[in-house]
Amino acid sequence: MEYKTNLIRFFGDTPFIRILDTFIDNIGEEYSKKEIQELAGISKGALFKHWNKLEELRLVKVTRTFGNTRLFTLNKASPLVKDMLKFEARMIEETMPKKEYNLAVY
């Protein structure tokens, strides 16, 4: 059985969610579009279809540019990203197996 992250399990296995999931799972890292495409496991066309939405919503930001290559990271200053990270943390809490404690009665 293939492992699916909480974000994919909750919102579906779509290219847009895979891109977001890649950034969230690798928070603080910077990637080129090609690297994001490969990490997300999506086609080049799917990446470019959704990329404008990521930039318009300010979910990603450019960290460095060299030549024609720009590197991107998750925009942690974005209110939307902050809310997504809180939601991701809450999903983790809710899906963690609960430990049962057997209390001995004396």
Task: Please state the domain extents for the chain.
Answer: 6-89
Closest CA to 35 of 27, 47, 25: 47
Q: Confidence band (pLDDT; 50, 70, 90) for 15?
A: very high
Pick one of 3.10.310.30, 1.20.1090.10, 2.20.28.10, 1.10.10.10 as the CATH number of 6-89. 1.10.10.10
pLDDT at 104: 59
- More confidently predicted of 105 and 71: 71
What would the pLDDT profile of 53-95 be if each residue is shown by its tens digit? 999 999 999 999 999 999 999 999 999 999 999 988 888 888 7
pLDDT at 41: 94
pTM: 0.82
Strand segments, DSSP code E, in the chain are: 60-66, 69-74
